[in-house]
Amino acid sequence: MKVFSLINIIVLTNACISPIDYIEPPICNGNIKGIGLEKALKYGKLFFGDVNNILSKEQFKCITYSKFKISKNIRKCVEQLTINNNTNAQDVAKGLAFNDNNELVSACAKGMPCIEFNNYVGNSSFTKLIKYCNATKQFENLFNDTNFIKCSFYGYEFCQKLYPEKCLYLEKEPCSKFNYLYACPVSRWIYASNFMLLYILNPLIAAQMPDCRIIY
């Protein structure tokens, strides 16, 4: 994951870029769709140095359909973060998903699958799963990467930690005087770290992440 800036790729003359410099989606203005495979592969190469730091079909099946409860959690979290047959594009672009009470809430609000995934990471269940599925190499590359560490740290400290119940983030725009409130899944930090995780699972899944976001 050897990437330093999208400046050289996207806008050489624009001084107003996201602090993470990479893949912050714009505010939606019209049709909402996934970022697409072409862009996913471009971002994958930017982050990982090439496009091949991904799971094999066997590893993917093991990660998502193992005998462990975490696999079901991963499938549900992935579903809620992406535009697919079971989600509404507008909800995903807002970072929202339905909870067990059929209420639309932030996809990382308390009790939601994506926040429960953090607990699996914390209690080493995820580490055990990737070892069980012989997928240690791909995720070690990720967990040792500065970009992922930075995005995950700031995502937790300034997003999930500040408003843990609703999982919202008041994001300051670097090029304006405006602050916008987003559900954390589409905040700049969490969006970037989620992309990296989903890309390793399968670039086709990362390609279904929303190409824009809606203010909460």
Structural domain includes residue 7: no
In degrees, rounded to 5, the angle at the alpha carbon of residue 157 between the alpha carbons of residues 166 and 84 is 50
Looking up tokens 């997003």 gives: 159
Identify the residue with better confidence: 206 or 121: 206
State the total domains in the chain: 1
Domain span including residue 87: 37-206
Per-residue pLDDT band for 157 (boundaries 50, 70, 90) equals low
According to the model, what pLDDT value does residue 20 have? Answer: 56
Specify the higher pLDDT residue, 109 or 152: 109
Q: Collapsing DSSP states into helix, strand and coil, what is residue 96?
A: strand
Comparing CA positions, the residue from 23, 20, 18 lying closest to residue 45 is 23
Q: Which pLDDT band, with edges at 50, 70 and 90, does 47 fall under?
A: confident
Side chain identity at 134, as an amino acid letter? N
In a domain, 60, yes or no: yes
Render pLDDT for 131-154 as a digit per residue (tens, 0 to 9).
999 999 998 888 877 677 777 766
Q: Is residue 89 part of a domain?
A: yes
pLDDT bin (cut points 50, 70, 90) of residue 11 is very low
Render pLDDT for 75-96 as a digit per residue (tens, 0 to 9).
999 999 999 999 999 999 999 9
Indicate if the alpha-carbon torsion angle 161, 165, 169, 170 is positive or negative.
negative
- Is 192 inside any structural domain? yes
Selected residue with higher pLDDT from 155 and 73: 73
- What is the pLDDT of the chain when averaged over all its residues? 84
Q: How far apart are CA 158 and CA 190, in angstroms?
A: 10
> 136 lies in a domain?
yes
